């Protein structure tokens, strides 16, 4: 991890369902006293006992009411719990999960704990379970392969890392567990099996602490590691509210006596996992049936909700087309019939690359896919300086869309939505503020900067139509982009900062429908400083922070003439292009029916 000597802002996750909440006082006290003493720590407590007196008057404890679940669902759903407060957790630099039945035994300072550079961490299982601990059931998404590196088995009691990485992992593992449950599958060691699978897949990002950070109380002085965090020996049956507690106590003592302390946990957990599973098979089947049903209902509702949003959006555009823009019939015909013809175009849209120092970028998804094809078709029709085209997927492109891209734009490169986080981990580690920025808007400024190896970058929106050659832009490209270029906005943008001030108005008039810059003119430090100052509780400030981010970080900035590169001004013979932002979207489709644009289908 980076900046290891700086104070961190740490979120500590405690899940105390049922009697597990009784562990919190000691957990809280030892964490406060011994764990990262110089860092700011906030405890997020998931519990069904929200009225516990211990929570009162503790400003660093946030209690989240959580429904009590039967074992093992209470542990399987821990990633789901974490995902439910992801927005709050993103405010912290790090997220650390520590099992409820653990406490800090000796001081763990920042310099010691953050001495590694990996963005995630886990802890080696003190029982040295080895290959037998991993999931080998091929029906489960936690199943490991023979070719995997199985040299380290990590215990699920202590893990975490940088906030964005932990939340990405939590989101993925919750999805995998839900997928397993929908098919009636539960991994051998529940969430721990899935955690180990993820760590194997991303081993280069994971640092592993020694077993002293998960020192089992039942093996006191039996493990040759310094005691850092203690795992309490407890009556699992009593804590998990399952039956046959007396039988379990007897078997536990027998295991300690005859099998030795080293393997007690492995054998004990394995025995009772299968014992409960066989004894309560009917209950398991009912539970899994309900989970399957709820999963299907959830997917159905999400699908209906998405369709409702799309329908509302289309109704809004139709209203605007009739009442505001007076192009209602043109819009309906073009939007739902004519515009789709470009997908069946027989000839390619692109031109041959003639400038090896230039890359062209466009961010799109399935919803804006047709817009993108028309926009690029009009662009290639008038532009002479052609560079390598990068199409950045916002995560919603479908296989059919990619096939059309490969046919109409064969030399283009499709960049997957998660490409940056998978391939530029070192760069993102050095710039933590960039990792928290997500979505299509931020892909436009962050992904394009890192992914292209070209000297110059030309970034275009999907809702632009080009009518005439661009003398200004092509002149800058031929001169190696000594000046950076942006469009002019129709109204100033208000950005609020954390200290109560606002952004200088001289930065407020730019529009990022077109962006041109050379990499040497992109000041990453200024961008980071600007984003760090933004008041993220003010929604418009966050929404427009990509647009104003360009304004604040580009050196030698030049604004294109607004009479030729227009927004709300109607096109004329001298208009080079027009940016049809959301309120103007009906005009975009109506314009496709103009003879000059319509001819693009035949070229």
Flag the least confident range among 176-185, 230-239, 411-420: 230-239
Non-local CB neighbours of 303 within 8 Å, separated by 6+ positions: none
Give the pLDDT confidence score for residue 237 in this predicted structure: 47
Q: Which of 396, 339, 390, 388 is nearest to 366 (CA)?
A: 396
Per DSSP, what are the bridge partners of residue 16? Answer: 47
Give the pLDDT confidence score for residue 71 in this predicted structure: 67
Look up residue 158 and give its two tokens: 């202590």
Non-local CB neighbours of 30 within 8 Å, separated by 6+ positions: 103, 104, 105
At 270-305, the pLDDT tens digits run 555 554 544 456 666 676 777 778 778 877 887 788
pLDDT over 90 for what percent of the chain?
A: 45
Flag the least confident range among 89-93, 137-141, 204-208: 137-141
Give the pLDDT confidence score for residue 53 in this predicted structure: 81
**The pLDDT of residue 243 is above 60:** no
Give the pLDDT confidence score for residue 270 in this predicted structure: 54
- Average pLDDT of the chain is 84
The whole-angstrom separation of Cα 260 and Cα 267 is 11
**The pLDDT of residue 425 is above 80:** no
At 395-404, the pLDDT tens digits run 889 999 999 9
At 297-346, the pLDDT tens digits run 877 887 788 788 889 999 999 999 999 999 999 999 999 999 999 999 88
Half-sphere exposure of 274 (CA within 13 A, CB side): 5
Could you say which of 3.90.25, 2.60.40, 1.20.1300, 3.90.550 is the CATH number of the domain covering 333-341+350-602?
Answer: 3.90.550
**CA angle at 191 for the pair 69 and 301, rounded to the nearest 5°:** 60
At 539-584, the pLDDT tens digits run 888 888 888 999 999 999 999 999 999 998 889 999 999 999 999 9
Non-local CB neighbours of 567 within 8 Å, separated by 6+ positions: 487, 488, 489, 490, 511, 513, 578, 579, 581, 584
Q: E strands within 74-228?
A: 94-98, 102-104, 120-124, 154-162, 206-209, 215-216
Give the pLDDT confidence score for residue 476 in this predicted structure: 94
Flag the least confident range among 143-152, 219-228, 348-357, 554-563: 219-228
Q: What is the mean pLDDT of residues 71-84?
A: 83
At 433-491, the pLDDT tens digits run 776 555 556 788 999 999 999 999 999 999 999 999 999 999 999 988 889 999 998 88
From residue 121, alpha-carbon distances to 95, 197, 207 in Å are 11, 14, 5
The whole-angstrom separation of Cα 479 and Cα 477 is 5
Band of residue 265 on the pLDDT scale cut at 50, 70, 90: low
Q: Which of 592, 55, 192, 135 is nearest to 374 (CA)?
A: 592
At 64-74, the pLDDT tens digits run 988 887 767 77
Higher pLDDT, 359 or 252: 359
Q: What is the mean pLDDT of residues 396-421?
A: 91
For the chain, residues classed under CATH 3.90.550.10 are: 9-234
Which residue blocks in 327-470 are alpha helix, DSSP H?
328-336, 369-382, 399-408, 419-423, 425-430, 432-435, 440-442, 448-451
**Residue 99 CA from chain centroid, whole number:** 25
Give the pLDDT confidence score for residue 579 in this predicted structure: 96
Q: Which of 4, 39, 10 is nearest to 111 (CA)?
A: 4
Band of residue 164 on the pLDDT scale cut at 50, 70, 90: confident
Give the pLDDT confidence score for residue 75 in this predicted structure: 78
Band of residue 254 on the pLDDT scale cut at 50, 70, 90: low
Q: What is the mean pLDDT of residues 230-255?
A: 56
**Residue 384 CA from chain centroid, whole number:** 37
What is the CATH architecture of 9-234? Alpha-Beta Complex (3.90)
**CA angle at 229 for the pair 223 and 234, rounded to the nearest 5°:** 80
Strand order of the β-sheet with 413-415 is 413-415, 388-393, 358-364, 456-460, 510-518, 484-488, 557-559
**The pLDDT of residue 537 is above 90:** no
Strand order of the β-sheet with 206-209 is 61-65, 40-47, 9-16, 94-98, 154-162, 120-124, 206-209
**The pLDDT of residue 193 is above 70:** yes
Flag the least confident range among 182-186, 218-222, 480-484: 218-222
Question: Taking the model in full, what pTM does it have?
Answer: 0.57
**Residue 156 CA from chain centroid, whole number:** 22
């Amino acid at each position: 991890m980076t900046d290891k000597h700086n104070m961190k802002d740490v979120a500590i996750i405690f899940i105390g369902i049922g009697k597990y909440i009784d562990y919190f006082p000691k957990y809280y006290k030892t964490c406060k006293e011994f764990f990262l003493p110089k860092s700011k720590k906030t405890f997020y407590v998931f519990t069904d006992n929200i009225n516990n007196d211990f929570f009162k008057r503790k400003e660093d404890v946030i209690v989240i009411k959580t429904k009590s679940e039967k074992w093992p669902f209470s542990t399987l759903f821990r990633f789901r719990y974490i995902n439910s407060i992801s927005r709050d957790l993103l405010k912290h630099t790090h997220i650390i999960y520590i099992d409820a039945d653990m406490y800090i035994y000796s001081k763990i300072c920042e310099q010691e704990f953050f001495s590694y550079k990996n963005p995630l961490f886990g802890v080696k299982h003190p029982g040295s379970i080895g290959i037998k601990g991993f999931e080998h059931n091929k029906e489960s998404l936690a199943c490991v392969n023979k070719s995997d590196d199985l040299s380290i088995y990590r215990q699920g009691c202590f893990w975490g890392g940088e906030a964005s990485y932990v939340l990405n992992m939590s989101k993925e593992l919750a999805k995998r567990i839900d997928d397993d449950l929908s098919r009636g599958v539960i991994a051998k060691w529940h969430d721990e099996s899935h955690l180990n699978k993820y760590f194997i897949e991303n081993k280069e990002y994971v640092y592993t602490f020694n077993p002293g950070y998960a020192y089992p109380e039942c093996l006191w002085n039996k493990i040759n590691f310094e005691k850092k965090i203690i795992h309490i020996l407890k009556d699992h049956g009593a804590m998990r509210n399952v039956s046959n507690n007396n039988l379990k106590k007897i078997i536990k003592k027998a295991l300690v006596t005859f099998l030795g302390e080293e393997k007690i946990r492995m054998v004990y957990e394995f025995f009772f996992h299968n014992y409960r599973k066989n004894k309560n098979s009917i209950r398991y089947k009912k539970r899994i049936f309900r989970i399957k049903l709820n999963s299907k209902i959830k997917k159905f509702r999400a699908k209906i909700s998405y369709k409702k949003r799309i329908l509302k959006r289309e109704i809004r555009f139709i209203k605007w087309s009739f009442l505001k823009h007076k192009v209602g019939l043109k819009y309906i015909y073009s939007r739902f019939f004519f515009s789709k013809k470009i997908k069946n175009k027989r000839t390619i849209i692109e031109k041959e690359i003639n400038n090896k120092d230039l890359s062209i970028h466009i961010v799109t998804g399935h919803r804006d896919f047709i817009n993108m094809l028309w926009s690029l078709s009009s662009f290639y029709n008038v532009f002479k300086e052609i560079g390598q085209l990068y199409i950045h997927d916002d995560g919603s492109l479908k296989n059919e869309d990619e096939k059309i891209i490969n046919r109409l734009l064969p030399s283009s490169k499709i960049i997957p939505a998660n490409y940056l986080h998978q391939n530029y981990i070192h760069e993102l580690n050095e710039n933590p503020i960039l990792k928290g920025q997500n979505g299509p808007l931020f892909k436009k400024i962050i992904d394009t900067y890192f992914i292209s190896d070209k000297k110059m970058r030309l970034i275009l929106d999907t809702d632009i139509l080009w009518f005439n050659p661009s003398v200004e832009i092509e002149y800058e490209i031929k001169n190696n982009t000594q000046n950076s270029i942006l469009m002019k906005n129709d109204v100033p943008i208000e950005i609020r900062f954390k200290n109560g001030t606002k952004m200088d108005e001289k930065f407020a008039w730019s529009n990022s429908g077109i962006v041109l810059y050379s990499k040497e003119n992109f000041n990453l430090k200024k961008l980071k400083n600007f984003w760090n100052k933004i008041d993220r509780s003010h929604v418009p400030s966050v929404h427009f922070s990509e647009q104003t981010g360009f304004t604040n970080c580009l050196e030698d900035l030049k604004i294109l003439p607004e009479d030729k590169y227009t927004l709300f001004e109607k096109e004329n013979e001298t208009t080079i292009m027009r940016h049809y932002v959301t309120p103007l979207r009906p005009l975009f489709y109506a314009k496709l029916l103009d003879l000059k644009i319509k001819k693009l289908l035949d070229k």
